[in-house]
């Protein structure tokens, strides 16, 4: 049976999340839990969520359209499953853009420059499906606190999602 490849929506601007309203409370509870209970996991989660929220705000303010991470991950899983056979092994590889040794289209490079200007402290990556020695389906993303934000793709004939300018929502901030 053939693997059904999910059809993705265009990237969009994400509406703002309520994270900002609760960020101070969350940070205060995390600090107190770490000090009084010696429970620091919540502090780590809170810091990651705050970084992700700030990154989404910066990308939104820069007009950078994002794909839904859930849709990209579902697409990647389906593509990997489709190409994994008894003859071929498929896996997604993630390369820092400076280590990527294949051509990146100029419009994708321009978008990457915009993302880097908005998020100068973060590394931009290219994800691509590697089937033995052959690579296909590259995506480009910026990593913020171990959360990928996908903003470009090329040579993706079956990926039908579109990008859009998105403000952050709680669904976009993961831990």
133-144 confidence digits (pLDDT tens): 555 678 899 999
pLDDT in tens, 43-90: 777 778 888 888 988 998 899 988 888 899 999 999 999 988 777 889
pLDDT at 136 (0 to 100): 64
Domain boundaries, the chain: 19-172
Q: Is the pLDDT of residue 132 over 90?
A: no
Indicate the pLDDT class of residue 38, thresholds 50, 70 and 90: confident
What is the Cα–Cα distance from 45 to 43, expressed in whole angstroms?
5
Structure tokens at 93: 């590889």
Measured over the CA atoms of residue 39, residue 44, residue 47 and residue 49, the dihedral's sign is negative
Overall average pLDDT of the 13-30 stretch: 64
Indicate the pLDDT class of residue 8, thresholds 50, 70 and 90: low
| pTM of the predicted structure, to 2 decimals | 0.65
Decide: 137 and 159 in contact? Cβ < 8 Å.
Answer: yes
In the block, residue with structure tokens 């990154």: 55
């Amino acid at each position: 049976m053939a693997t059904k490849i999910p059809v993705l929506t265009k990237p969009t601007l994400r509406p703002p999340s309520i994270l900002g309203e609760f960020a101070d409370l969350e940070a205060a509870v995390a600090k107190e839990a770490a000090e009084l209970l010696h429970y620091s996991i919540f502090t780590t989660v809170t810091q990651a969520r705050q970084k992700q929220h700030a990154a989404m705000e910066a990308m939104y303010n820069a007009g950078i359209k994002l794909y839904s991470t859930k849709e990209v991950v579902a697409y990647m899983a389906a593509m990997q499953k489709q190409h994994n056979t008894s003859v071929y092994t498929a896996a997604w590889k993630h390369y820092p853009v400076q280590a990527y040794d294949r051509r990146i289209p100029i419009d994708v490079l321009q978008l990457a420059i915009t993302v880097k200007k908005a998020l100068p402290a973060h590394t931009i990556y290219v994800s691509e499906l590697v089937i033995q020695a052959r690579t296909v389906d590259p995506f480009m993303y910026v990593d913020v606190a171990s959360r990928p934000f996908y903003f470009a793709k090329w040579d993706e004939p079956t990926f039908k999602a579109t990008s859009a300018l998105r403000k952050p929502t709680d669904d976009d901030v993961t831990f």
